[in-house]
Amino acid sequence: MTMEQTKILFKGKRKKKSVNEIVFMVTLMAIPVLHFCVFWLFINIDSILLSFKKFNMMEGMWEWAGLANYRALWTEFNKPGSVLPRAIVNSFSVFLWNDFVILPISLFCAYMLYKKMPLNNFYKVVFFLPSIISVTVLTLSFSYMLNSFLPDLFMKMGIFDLIPFEGFFGSPKTAWWTILFYGLWSGIGGNIVLMSGAMARIPAEVQEAGKLDGLGLMGELWHVVIPLIGSTLATLLLMGTAVIFSYFLQPKLLLGDAAANAKGFTIALYIVNNVRDNGTPQMSMGATIGVLCALIGTPIVLITRKALDKAFPVYEY
CB burial readout 222-234, b (16+ within 10 A) else e: eebbeebbbebbb
Cα–Cα distance measured from residue 214 to residue 226, given in angstroms and rounded to the nearest whole number:
17
pLDDT at 125: 78
Could you report how far apart the first and last alpha carbons of the chain are, in Å?
Answer: 57
Q: What is the pLDDT of residues 44-79, one digit of tens each?
A: 999 899 999 988 888 878 899 889 999 999 998 999
Q: What backbone phi and psi angles, to 5 degrees, belong to 55?
A: -95, 120
CB 285 within 8 A of CB 67: no
Cα–Cα distance measured from residue 195 to residue 201, given in angstroms and rounded to the nearest whole number:
10
Indicate the pLDDT class of residue 288, thresholds 50, 70 and 90. Answer: very high
- Per the prediction, the chain carries an average pLDDT of 84
Higher-scoring residue by pLDDT: 188, 124: 188
Q: What is the pLDDT of residues 247-270, one digit of tens each?
A: 998 998 888 877 777 788 999 998
Percentage above 70 pLDDT, the chain? 92
Cα–Cα distance measured from residue 181 to residue 250, given in angstroms and rounded to the nearest whole number:
11
Q: What is the pLDDT of residues 184-228, one digit of tens each?
A: 988 888 888 889 888 988 888 888 888 888 888 888 888 889 999
Residues contacting 224, CB < 8 A, separation 6+: 202, 206, 207, 210, 215
CB 187 within 8 A of CB 247: no
CB atoms within 10 A of CB 298: 10
CB 270 within 8 A of CB 289: yes
